[in-house]
Amino acid sequence: MTGKAEELPKKIKSIRQHLKLSQEELAHKLGVSFTSVNRWENGQTKPSKLARKQLEALCKECGYEMPVLL
């Protein structure tokens, strides 16, 4: 993984930390498994379009301007 592909896991982790959530808490709020969030942050997989939309909605709900995800 190089360049822009490395940015996505960092952005997801940054969003989660800004929202002051654990991986488990974020997973619960998005309706996905802890393993999914963990894999996103480790760069093993990418969130689905639905998960990205849910993450965007969560950020809006919390008043946080989400960075653009790749």
Q: Encoding tokens for residue 40?
A: 């996103």
DSSP per-residue letters across 38-57: HHHHHTSS---HHHHHHHHH
Confidence band (pLDDT; 50, 70, 90) for 2? low
Asked if pLDDT for residue 70 goes beyond 60, the answer is: no
Asked if pLDDT for residue 62 goes beyond 80, the answer is: yes
Calculate mean pLDDT across residues 36-65.
95
Domains assigned to the chain:
4-61 (1.10.260.40)
The overall average pLDDT reported for the chain is 91
pLDDT digits (tens, 9 = 90+) for 9-34: 999 999 999 999 999 999 999 999 99
